[in-house]
Chains A and B, each alone.
Chain A
């Protein structure tokens, strides 16, 4: 199970850790009871401050994915999905999707390819 971090990306490492782990959690690649590497180990391997990793773990803990353990890092816990997404979250999701599509389009991605990628994500979501 791999976590991929791009050190040259404009996206902060903290955000990349949260996003990368969340994908693994949502896809079920990280299951209940799985142990994440200790904050110290992950920070050393990435060459970032311990707080960067600790903050990422805390964010996922606040979302209900992880239980933070003092010595061993963090453990994946059973998460009760929110009953219904609030309208603000749905609007934010739509806005972020549009921003992302505009960003990759400005980088030269053709529209049909972006649509294909989005469809692929949608298909995967429907299948899971």
Chain B
């Protein structure tokens, strides 16, 4: 088990090692920079220092894991090393901060972005859960006496007695998860800021967003499978297949992100084709990681370091989304007890 955890820590080490390369070309450790800094002597020195600290903490984490056998402590050690490496590198990069590009050129002809398959595709899993709930409530006598609520690789390992209350609770947790995933996919296309607004960079960015939205929708379909099996086929041994499918999705997701880079910038013919920075004000980024800008209507914005999106904590809808996430985690914990 510890060997598996060590492999996970190594994979994380590799991903964190790659983060500076996945970031937009005009950003370095969450600071807007001039295009030449990355390739300069100073840029290379900053990057080298970041990786030295990162790998030192990663190797220390693996040593703690194998010698002491404390996976949580090992992960905390790696995380602390990463945060320290990032903040130190950011501090050095801030000395070379450049003014973000103030010019925005918006393409008025750009077609609207839509969820792959339309909004209906994202609502089908929620509808399916509703239908399942209706059917189950009409056929309580045909349901198993207990429902699986947690699975390991060997199959279900935690159950609750089947009652109308537990049935509703189980389906509600899955439905809320699907709703959050659907909301994230929608937010990505309709409530996030586009950085490149014209030319090949905009096309690349659009493809990047669409790929992420597609992956999120696939995850939504995968999420409802355990609920279906818990009620309709409780004896089926599908946890291994589900785990494999989920792993394949995560690996696919990782490959897409690694190949595309932030906003699809790695697919551009040259870094110069991407806009400088991300048009968000530097001072709205706390420690380069948390974005708080009440004047920005975006709910989701691109991470400044690495790849992916983060919430704009200056927008009240971001807090609603976080509350929903907390409610989901809280209800799942209560349900699993």
Q: Which residues of A contact B (CB under 8 A)?
A: 1-9, 24, 30, 36-38, 40-50
Contacts and interface: CB of A to CB of B under 8 A. Distances in A.
Interface string B90-113: 000000000000111111111010
Given A47-B295, A48-B295, A6 B102 contact: yes
Contact of A5 (B104, B109, B191, B296): B104
A44 B300 CA distance: 10
Contacts of B110: 37
A1 B111 CA distance: 12
Contacts of A44: 191-194, 297-298
Interface residues of B, number: 24
A2 B279 contact: no
B106 A50 contact: no
Contacts of A6: 102-104
B280 interface: yes
Given A1-B107, A2-B108, A37-B108, 8 more contacts: A2-B198, A4-B104, A37-B110, A41-B112, A44-B192, A44-B297, A47-B296, A47-B297
A4 B279 CA distance: 14
A86 B105 CA distance: 35
12 contacts: A1-B108, A2-B106, A4-B104, A30-B108, A40-B190, A43-B297, A45-B104, A45-B106, A45-B197, A47-B296, A47-B297, A48-B295
Nearest to A21: B108
B187 to A, nearest CB: 11
A7 B103 CA distance: 6
